[in-house]
Chain A
Amino acid sequence: MWNYEKRLQFPVNITQPNAKIAQVIMSQYGGPDGELGASMRYLSQRYTMPYPEVAGLLTDIGTEELAHLEMVSAIVYQLTKNLSMEEIEASGFAPYYTDHTLGIYPQSAGGIPFNAGAFQSKGDAITDLTEDLAAEQKARTTYDNILRLVKDNEVAEPIRFLRAREIVHFQRFGEGLRLIQDKLDAKNFYAFNPEFDRCKC
């Protein structure tokens, strides 16, 4: 189960509102390659993972991603706090504001609400870890793209931190996949699904 620590994993202190960049950054909350999807993916995959170190890894990284979605939400919150109606209208934020006022809501930069279609929990150890490797790279690329757009260092700092974590997670999932390979037959890794098959035919 989960405990909560009343602090962000990395500080978010933004003094300049910016609804335009908020619209983009919120994709890392509820978008297809965002932290909510990452968290739900790993926390879902862990149940049927037959190797405890890998189930542990999925749990620990899935938990860290919850702390990351909190950071992204905090960034969006601080970027949009105290916006005036003029600022809302001028920055193209009016559609989001109509549906959510300044509430924080998980959706992509394009306005598509978060949905589980963004991730898979395939129930196959090799497949799930391979999906996780891709997920971390997609998130990294999204942060790269955001960093090209962001001019304010108060915003860039927590974004850079989040991006760095994706690279570390990629390494860990890669090692998790190596652990799985070590438990299987190198002559044919795909002979059976260790999460499902109980016997040979």
Chain B
Amino acid sequence: MKSNMVNERARLYHNINVIGFVIVDMIEYLDTHPYDKEAIEYLNHYLALKHQAMAEYAEKYGPLSIGNVPDTDCNEWKWATQPMPWEGGF
């Protein structure tokens, strides 16, 4: 069903946004707390999750980074043909 497909895409996309955000906030914390081992482990955990989530999204829907282009099909340069993020709808 189409709405399930749309929901799945939105869910994956939202997940990437949340994980990406956790990473940014933790990076800035680590800049001023560079010896917080727990925080580094926490960050590494989410970096791995983000990598996975980006690859999964790219495979199914299209690349969110140039690094994910190899996960997408070679017949179309989706990086440019798909809508830009400021168009909204996500």
Contact = CB atoms under 8 A, between A and B. Distances in A.
Chains A, B in direct contact (C-beta < 8 Å): yes
Interface in A19-63: 53-54, 56-57, 60-61
Contacts of B89: 13
Contacts of B33: 175
Contacts of B17: 7, 9-11
B43 interface: no
Nearest to B83: A6
Contact of B34 (A10, A14, A53): A53
Chain B, interface residues (CB within 8 Å), range: 20 to 34
A6 B85 contact: yes
Contacts of B25: 168
Interface in B1-50: 13-14, 16-17, 20-21, 24-25, 27-29, 31-34
A31 B24 CA distance: 25
Contacts of A190: none
A189 B79 CA distance: 50
A172 B85 contact: no
Interface string B53-70: 000000000011111000
Contacts of A150: none
B31 to A, nearest CB: 4
A8 interface: yes
Contacts of A7: 13, 16-17, 20, 64, 85, 90
A6 B78 CA distance: 11
Given A6-B79, A9-B21, A168 B86 contact: no
A30 to B, nearest CB: 16
A70 B86 contact: yes
B32 A77 contact: no
Contacts of B85: 6-8, 70, 74
A51 to B, nearest CB: 11
A94 interface: no
A5 B66 CA distance: 8
Interface of A: 3-14, 53-54, 56-57, 60-61, 64, 70, 73-74, 77-78, 168-169, 172, 175-176, 179
Interface of B: 13-14, 16-17, 20-21, 24-25, 27-29, 31-34, 63-67, 79, 82, 84-86, 88-90
